[in-house]
Amino acid sequence: MFLGRAVAFRRWTSLELSRLRRRSPIPPVAASLPPTATSSTVAVDVTNAAARSGPPPIRVSLTESAGRGVFATRKIGAGELIHSAKPLVTHPSSSLLRKVCYYCLRKLGQESSRSCYFCSEDCRENSKAFFEVEKRTDWSLYDDHCRVQGLKYPLMVKRLACMILSGAVPADSLDILQPACLLPETLKEVEEEFELLKYTFMKAKFEDKQMSFLTKQWYINVLARIRINSFRIELVGGSYEDLLTSAAASVEADAAVGNAIYMLPSFYNHDCDPNTHILWIENANAKLKALHDIEAGEELRICYIDVSMGCEARQKILAEGFGFKCSCLRCLSGE
């Protein structure tokens, strides 16, 4: 997902927000909302559906033209929760380190006085996969570089490296994901980031054997996968008013609490008229939900970009950012 799917459907959200305000105040099912909008009713439905369901009604198979894809194994009804997904790696936005959980990205009621915050003992315990290693290291140079340059993906590489050093995950844990094609002019910057990361760990006196995975090629491969598969996390509150507030925030400002990498959601291909969307209700645990009825055998697709743009603009962004020409029905019709 180029730039972490950074286009947060702002124009589409703006249109949907206006439409919602003209409707009755009864919370909608959000059948055509962007991934950052839902309601308390949806949250309850998602929870109940998850409790009722068995294995997800999907399979991953090869498509005719888009590599791997996700397909329905039975009919899926509009509004149905297809499956949930826990992230492999998360990292909060640098500007929100004192305002969201350092592990699950849940929002705090007020700003914390600590440099990082955990919303529960479970999150604190789960964070040991990276935090024990992170605490041994002086990250001031690396973090300042990312902050000044406005970088977020190197922070996710840093967290993954800490997880590997702690023994929580193998060094090849993201290899199954599709990598982005990094431009030659980008590689010099990437190499500088790698050298800074390696220097930071060396200064903390980690053993050479522990750091054997940390090569320039490993860094480039991981960053290439994070860049194209990272999801921008915009949380939705528990009420209809929160839905409108969240939608307005995504139009007017940067509403993302952080970024996350997932396994199964990364296999979903793009469509400018998607039948599925992804949403985050309270934390970085993702919910994949059907926008309309989906037949058995039909491919499930999400939208990577702002669907309110014209065909020419969509094609340009998809070609430059994702490396493919979209041939969905909407694009073929020129809409």
pLDDT (tens digit, 9 = 90+) per residue, 273-331? 999 999 999 999 999 999 999 999 999 999 988 888 899 899 888 888 777 888 888 99
Antiparallel, parallel or unpaired: β 286-290 and 258-261? unpaired
Q: What is the pLDDT of residues 69-81, one digit of tens each?
A: 999 999 999 999 9
* Mean pLDDT estimate for the chain: 82
Nearest 5°: phi and psi at 12?
-65, -45
Task: Kindly report the CATH number assigned to the domain that includes residue 250.
Answer: 2.170.270.10
Q: List the domain range (segments joined by +) for residue 164.
A: 116-229
Question: Do 306 and 260 have their domain in common?
Answer: yes
Given 229, 252, 275, which residue is the final one in a domain? 229
Number of domains composing the chain: 2
List residues bridging with 60 in a β-sheet: 70
Do both 121 and 224 map to the same domain?
Answer: yes
Token pair of 207, please?
């053993």
186 and 279 share one domain: no
- Mapped onto helix, strand or coil, the DSSP state of residue 203 is helix
Q: Is a pLDDT exceeding 50 seen at residue 35?
A: no
Rg (CA), the chain: 20
- Give the residue, 233 or 35, on which the prediction is more confident: 233
> Any idea of the CA torsion for 91, 60, 3, 13, to the nearest 10 degrees?
-90
What confidence score (pLDDT) does residue 22 get? 35
Q: How many CA atoms lie within 13 A of 223 on its CB side?
A: 25
Nearest to 81 by CA among 21, 38, 24, 143: 38
Residue 161 and residue 78 in one domain: no
Q: What is the pTM of this model?
A: 0.79
Cα 154 versus chain centre, distance = 15
40: tokens are 């308390």
Q: Are residues 120 and 224 located together in one domain of the fold?
A: yes
